[in-house]
């Protein structure tokens, strides 16, 4: 047994991806099934969706939770569907904002041995076992990304989206980093290290915007993603 975030998790459960055995090619059918369910379900959403990312660890009294809820509500009122990872924290806040105004509130939850449980504010919940399948859904069916402060998972989703735009695998769409005080250190590092080393180009810095005010975020999405 191992301990993660104060909870006991069985080794086999925690590291299930490392335990492939003979015959594991059958897992391909589970992966295919998740893709089919995701594609079929999300294709029924007939309005632009905005994906909201962020930490699962912020409670409803936290400033970032309140911002995400306000953004989810405002964008829902403007006619957008709100899509999150379906869990607690920022994900819950985005779904809750959409639910506040009876908007389309999509939650793409992931099976984890700790931390993640589905929030009650997603009126269109889907459940995934594989991160990469879930990430395809969050990107394929979004017309804009809002990255609230978060951890490794948020960074993974953010840089996946920016990489796909940079390499022109998907059409460019708005990516908003919310919280200049949170993201400024990372952006400074990108400028001072990556750009200086020429591992990225100057134009790559225009893939994302940094905004703080919920009303400004909503106006920016409305201006760049036309319904």
Quote the CA–CA distance of 17 and 20 in Å, as a whole number.
Answer: 7
Q: Does the pTM exceed 0.85?
A: yes
**Per residue in 118-152, pLDDT tens?**
899 999 999 999 999 999 999 999 999 999 999 99
Give the strand pairing for 2-4 and 7-9. Answer: antiparallel
φ and ψ at residue 94, rounded to 5 degrees:
-65, -45
- Cβ–Cβ under 8 Å, residues 41 and 126: yes
**Per residue in 66-96, pLDDT tens?**
999 999 999 999 999 999 999 999 999 999 9
Q: Is the pLDDT of residue 3 over 60?
A: no
Per-residue pLDDT, 226: 84
Quote the CA–CA distance of 107 and 124 in Å, as a whole number.
Answer: 6
Per-residue pLDDT, 174: 97
Quote the CA–CA distance of 12 and 193 in Å, as a whole number.
Answer: 39
Q: Is the pLDDT of residue 31 over 70?
A: yes
Residue 187 gets the label, from left (phi > 0), alpha (psi -120 to 50) or beta, of alpha
Q: Which fold has domain 21-224?
A: Rossmann fold (3.40.50)
């Amino acid at each position: 047994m191992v301990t993660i975030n104060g909870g006991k998790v069985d080794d086999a459960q925690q590291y299930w991806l490392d335990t492939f055995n003979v015959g594991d090619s059958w897992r391909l059918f589970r992966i295919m099934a998740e893709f089919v369910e995701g594609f079929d379900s999300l294709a029924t959403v007939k309005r632009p969706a905005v994906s909201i990312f962020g930490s699962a660890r912020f409670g409803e009294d936290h400033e970032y939770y309140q911002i995400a809820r306000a953004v989810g509500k405002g964008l829902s009122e403007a006619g957008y569907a709100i899509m999150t990872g379906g869990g607690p924290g920022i994900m819950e806040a985005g779904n809750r904002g959409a639910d506040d105004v009876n908007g389309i509130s999509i939650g793409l939850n992931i099976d984890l041995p700790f931390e993640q449980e589905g929030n009650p504010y997603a009126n269109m919940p889907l459940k995934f076992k594989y991160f990469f399948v879930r990430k395809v859904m969050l990107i394929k069916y979004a017309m804009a990304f809002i990255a609230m402060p978060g951890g490794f998972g948020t960074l993974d989703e953010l840089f996946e989206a920016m990489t796909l735009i940079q390499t022109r695998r998907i059409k460019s769409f708005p990516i908003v980093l919310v919280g200049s005080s949170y993201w400024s250190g990372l952006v400074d590092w990108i400028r001072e290290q990556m750009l200086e080393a020429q591992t990225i180009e100057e134009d790559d810095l225009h893939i994302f915007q940094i905004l703080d005010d919920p009303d400004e975020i909503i106006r920016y999405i409305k201006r760049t993603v036309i319904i």
